[in-house]
Amino acid sequence: MFGLTFEKLLLVGLIAAVVIGPQRLPGAVTRFASMLRGLRRTVDAARLRAATELGVPADTAEWRALDPRQYDPRRIIAEALAAPPVVAAGDTASVPVPTSAADAAAPVAPETPRIPMRRVHVGSSAHPRWIEVPDESGATAPEPAAPTAPTDQATARDAVTA
């Protein structure tokens, strides 16, 4: 607090002992201690008065419950990633493998068929996007080829309309 270390406080105490003198030092320390006790009483009374008049909790545990640092997004994401995955109804891709005889005897959800998907080009030529949609024909579309530069004007027009 205030950059004060033990060595600095010891140095201030030694200078105070030399300046005040050995005869008046015990009385100065007593006055300083009583001043600190009075300050502590004043702070405690102000805290109690604020708690009763404003409804602000004075208990440290209650203040921790109101601490905004508990909503730190980094901590929330770290806890979410550390949590075990949630299995959705009908999702068999993440069904746990049985590790004991009791687990092996437990019924396993039947495997649901995967819906075949195909990739469709949407958007403009300036902002092309590929999305996956259900494939009604059952055949999957090939992966899109890397875009190539058109060689002439007609090829460029065909590439834009495609």
Cα–Cα distance list, 129 to 73, 109, 126, 135, 150 (Å): 30, 36, 10, 18, 19
Sequence-separated (6 or more) residues with CB below 8 Å from residue 117 = 132, 133, 134, 135, 140
The C-alpha atoms of residue 151 and residue 75 are separated, in whole angstroms, by: 53
Q: Residue 39: its pLDDT value, please?
A: 96
User: What would the two tokens of residue 107 be?
Assistant: 């019924």
User: What would the two tokens of residue 81 be?
Assistant: 């990633």
Q: Residue 146: its pLDDT value, please?
A: 55
Q: Residue 45: its pLDDT value, please?
A: 92
Full pLDDT tens readout for the chain, 162 residues: 578 889 998 998 889 889 988 889 889 889 989 999 999 999 999 888 887 887 766 677 777 777 787 788 888 888 888 877 666 665 555 555 555 655 555 566 666 677 788 888 787 877 878 788 888 775 544 555 555 555 555 555 555 555
Q: State the SS3 of 81-141.
A: HHCCCCCCCCCCCCCCCCCCHHHHHCCCCCCCCCCCEEEEEEECCCCEEEEEEECCCCCCC
**What's this model's pTM, rounded to 2 decimal places?**
0.33
Q: Residue 110: its pLDDT value, please?
A: 64
